[in-house]
Structure 1
Amino acid sequence: MSSSSSSSSATETLTLIPGLPNDISSLILSLIPFSHHARLKSTSKSWQSFLSSHQPFLVHRSIRTHGPHHPTLLCIFPEDPSITPPYLFDPSRLTWTPLPLLPCSPHRYGLCNFLSVSLGPHLYVLGGSLFDARSFPIDRPRPSSSVYRLDLPSSSPFSSWARLPSMLSPRGSFACAADPTSNSIVVAGGGSRHTLFRAAGTRLRSVERYDIEKDEWIQEEGLPMNRAGCVGFLVGEEFWVMGGYGACRMVSGVFPVDEHYRDAVALNLKTGKWREIGDMWVDGEGSRRLGTVVLVDRVVGEMPWIFMLDGSTIFKYDITTNRWWKETNLPRKAPGDISCGFVALGGELYVMFALRFDMKARRPQAERMTLFIQVYNPKKKTWRCLTTKLPLSLCVDFHTAIMCSIQL
């Protein structure tokens, strides 16, 4: 019997709230924000068992089916998750929850360009560019094939990530998407690159899929050509791989520069065949490179909205014309060269950057970074703003930070 089923059966024999049926009590406890679960687990053995199981997630799924859209959480990896813990951010309540560190090796001293996806109550960390003291030269990363999974209900700062079967091909800076219909994760392309010597990295065209039930990686038909630094997402029954770079050209015969793709390709998950999608830019836009791309899920059966943040402008992708069109401008630009994070949460677009206020104040708490968030509703075409203090130990550079949305 699995741990989730055994803990679920245990809660049926324990009273959650005295005087109430357990089905009513479970509904009440499931409405408690996830950020409060860690503190409430010590209330009683029944609460510990219930909040550490998958039951609250199952209740959430039922509520989403018959009620309004449930809020989405954001997981932020500021840097190497074996050095700095990732955090869960609840934008509806402006609360932060630390997650456990990834297992650490005495030989490695840095991990970047990895990806994170969520599927159900699980959070995954895949691949990346790994700096290892045993490799030569030590300042050049090598691609990683490692895969880790965290069970969010039972997580705490003292719990651990489970090591899963490694990918068939090590990769960083790749396309990735979780497919809930087949309970699998698809990865494509990638390679490894240095943060300074970017064009000197490797490129891949291999594609593979992780079957969660079988706990194994399955090789799929490769990309039409090598592609790294790309973005991946699901559109109906297709896995799209957009943008990225392949070959590189030499400037003055010395400096390598990436040649960025202006198109996309799509893999039919049923037939396993790729189809090529042409140039996404209108004439006169030159060799534009892809910005940060996110998807906004809509009603089941409708195509998702695809948005891109490029500087201070948000573009919307039109699948029928294969073109990016301007949607809106940010009400407030990020000052200087401060990086912006861009993510879709609960049907809205979040643009965020970190600022430091009151540096001359005497209180240490005043030195904490403030996260400034601009939220765009693409349906109503309206903006609103939020601000929150980042956790004391958290410093986010959105140029390198990894973000993942989690639908509870």
Structure 2
Amino acid sequence: MGKAEKKQQQQEVQNLIPGLPDEIAMECLIRVPYKFHNDLKSVCQRWLNLISSHSFYRERIRSGKAEHLVCQVQPLPLSPPNPKDSSSATTHLVSDSAAKITSTKKDQQQDDDDHELHQQRQEVHRTPLQYGLTIFNASNGTWERIRPHVGRIPMFCQCVAVPASRKLLLIGGWDPITLEPVPDVYVLDMVNNSSRWRRAKPMSVARSFFACAVVGALTVCVAGGHDGQKNALKSAEVYDVEADEWRMLPEMDEERDECQGVCLEGDRFFVVSGYGTESQGRFKPDAECYDPTTGSWSKFDHVWPFPSLSPRGSTATITSNRLQQHQWLWFLGKEQQQNGEVVEGKIVSSIVPLPKSVTEGSSSPCVSVTTLHNSQQQQKVFVMTGNGGRGCSSSSALSSFICNECEGEGAFIMERDMSNGNIKWDHVHLPVGFSGFPCSASFLLI
């Protein structure tokens, strides 16, 4: 073999794909769906290094090949026993004792079966509700669930996506057994190890129902919520994702439980509404804003006009360069839609009417929203509701939302044309086992 041939073979071995220039090989690899990336890493060291790098995912985004992942903390399905199939029900839930019934009398057999079924249903109600992380791939319409390896996911924890590091954080919430607030933090690296959670440094204060938002590139701010005695909190702190360190911030002026966290202008952290310990359920109309430049809080009035409604979950932040304003979208029920638009400084709050199939059964449905896409031409938001169900309406006006193969009708993608304000709703297929209403949701582009 000549020197030229040996040199060519060595070059091909070093290439990402033998026989192809690296530029062409990269174009091939960035098109591989995200769910196969762990398999690609096992091919060779060069592929492992490439697909573990953030530059690879930046190239996927630049080329338009990145996938839109909606990450939701959902209750795991826990089905009650089926009286028509007691053996399968008991295997799934608690025990197989129903198979051990020995009575030969038909009436006694039925009585024993009924008693067994009653005991199993009681056992289901006594079982602590368990949560899992659901990933909805909005690019290809698939659903999957990631179960934690570090214990139970806390109830009502905040699911926070950090786009710059492509990590998911689960913060705070309730212990599912004691129902006490926890300071726990779990991290899932979606690039380097998307199947293993790690326990991160906990918050300084155990809290639940608090405001939370990614501020800047790699920090997360939290504020308010309540402690183990259900006292509303004024405290706030900030988490450095890369350093795995928490730092206390100055306290807010007021206690704020069940508040909403919003980041505007890149690094300003807004804590919207909430209520105090002595005014539970009466939501404040104002917000407090933390400015990291000055290290202090300031108050904004007339931000939330609904004193009996929490802003948590039903709102989405949209940054817009139009007139240097920032849009905050509210997905609310029929009773609130008449309020229209609220303008406070650079913040424009717009109410987006929900589909009729959502509001028909409830004037104030439970809604969880996640921003998918935002540009000068179009906005996309994933919306999941808590009162959808197959066959909830037979109206011909709603026929476009009905899916005969779907577990429920409670998931949609809203598209808004920014040139004319027109809104289009697309129904999202919701498979069996994924219809539980999410307590928190966030979004990653991978």
TM-score, structure 2 normalization: 0.69
- Paired with 1:170 and 1:286, the residues of 2 have a C-alpha distance of 26
- Paired with 1:367 and 1:378, the residues of 2 have a C-alpha distance of 28
Pick aligned residue for 1:104 from 133, 142, 151: 151
Match of 1:273 in 2: 296
| Correspondence 1:24-173 to 2 at 5 A | 24-38=24-38, 47=47, 50-60=50-60, 63=62, 72-79=68-75, 83-104=130-151, 111-119=154-162, 120=164, 121-132=166-177, 138=178, 141-156=179-194, 159-173=195-209
More helix by share: 2
Match of 2:261 in 1: 232
Worse-matched range after superposition: 32-41 or 303-312: 32-41
- Paired with 2:146 and 2:38, the residues of 1 have a C-alpha distance of 11
Pick aligned residue for 1:206 from 229, 235, 240: 235
Q: Does the Cα contact within 8 Å between 2:328 and 2:349 map onto a contact in 1? A: no
Residues 1:187 and 2:208 are matched in the alignment? no
The change in CA–CA distance for 1:392 and 1:155 in structure 2 (over 3 A counts) is farther
- Paired with 1:396 and 1:100, the residues of 2 have a C-alpha distance of 15
* Aligned residue type for 1:227: R
Match of 2:102 in 1: none
Match of 2:116 in 1: none
Instruction: Tell me the secondary structure at the aligned position of residue 389 of structure 1.
Output: coil
Match of 1:406 in 2: 444
Pick aligned residue for 1:376 from 385, 393, 415: 415
Pick aligned residue for 2:311 from 287, 290, 294: 290
Match of 1:254 in 2: none
- Paired with 1:403 and 1:18, the residues of 2 have a C-alpha distance of 42
- Paired with 1:152 and 1:289, the residues of 2 have a C-alpha distance of 31
Q: Does the Cα contact within 8 Å between 2:417 and 2:423 map onto a contact in 1? A: no
Q: Does the Cα contact within 8 Å between 1:83 and 1:101 map onto a contact in 2? A: no
- Paired with 2:193 and 2:298, the residues of 1 have a C-alpha distance of 40
TM-score, structure 1 normalization: 0.75
Match of 1:4 in 2: none
Name structure 2 gaps, 5 residues minimum. 1-11, 78-128, 375-379, 393-403
The change in CA–CA distance for 1:129 and 1:28 in structure 2 (over 3 A counts) is same
Match of 1:243 in 2: 273
Q: Does the Cα contact within 8 Å between 1:145 and 1:169 map onto a contact in 2? A: yes
Pick aligned residue for 1:175 from 199, 211, 225: 211
The change in CA–CA distance for 1:322 and 1:298 in structure 2 (over 3 A counts) is closer
The change in CA–CA distance for 1:227 and 1:167 in structure 2 (over 3 A counts) is same
* Aligned residue type for 1:377: R
Pick aligned residue for 2:427 from 383, 387, 392: 387
Instruction: Tell me the secondary structure at the aligned position of residue 288 of structure 2.
Output: strand
Match of 1:222 in 2: 251
Alpha-carbon distance, 1:379 to partner: 1.4
Instruction: Tell me the secondary structure at the aligned position of residue 412 of structure 2.
Output: strand
Match of 2:370 in 1: 343
The change in CA–CA distance for 1:319 and 1:15 in structure 2 (over 3 A counts) is farther
The change in CA–CA distance for 1:16 and 1:374 in structure 2 (over 3 A counts) is same
Instruction: Tell me the secondary structure at the aligned position of residue 160 of structure 1.
Output: strand
More strand by share: 1
Task: Give deviations 1:18-46, integer Å, cap 9, x for gaps.
Answer: 32223432343224342443565566665
- Paired with 1:246 and 1:80, the residues of 2 have a C-alpha distance of 32
- Paired with 2:215 and 2:233, the residues of 1 have a C-alpha distance of 22
Q: CA RMSD in A?
A: 3.6
Q: Does the Cα contact within 8 Å between 2:215 and 2:268 map onto a contact in 1? A: no
Name structure 1 gaps, 5 residues minimum. 1-11, 133-137, 194-199, 250-256, 360-364
Match of 2:80 in 1: none
| Correspondence 1:296-375 to 2 at 5 A | 296-298=318-320, 302-312=324-334, 316-320=341-345, 324=349, 327-334=351-358, 335-337=360-362, 339-347=366-374, 348-353=380-385, 355-357=388-390, 366=405, 368-369=407-408, 371-375=410-414
Task: Give deviations 1:46-83, integer Å, cap 9, x for gaps.
Answer: 5455434434323245x1xxx77966321011137994
Task: Give deviations 1:317-371, integer Å, cap 9, x for gaps.
Answer: 423287755x442342415256333222112233333744489xxxxx9574455
- Paired with 1:390 and 1:38, the residues of 2 have a C-alpha distance of 26
Please identify the structure whose Cα radius of gyration is greater.
2
The change in CA–CA distance for 1:112 and 1:329 in structure 2 (over 3 A counts) is same
Alpha-carbon distance, 1:224 to partner: 0.6
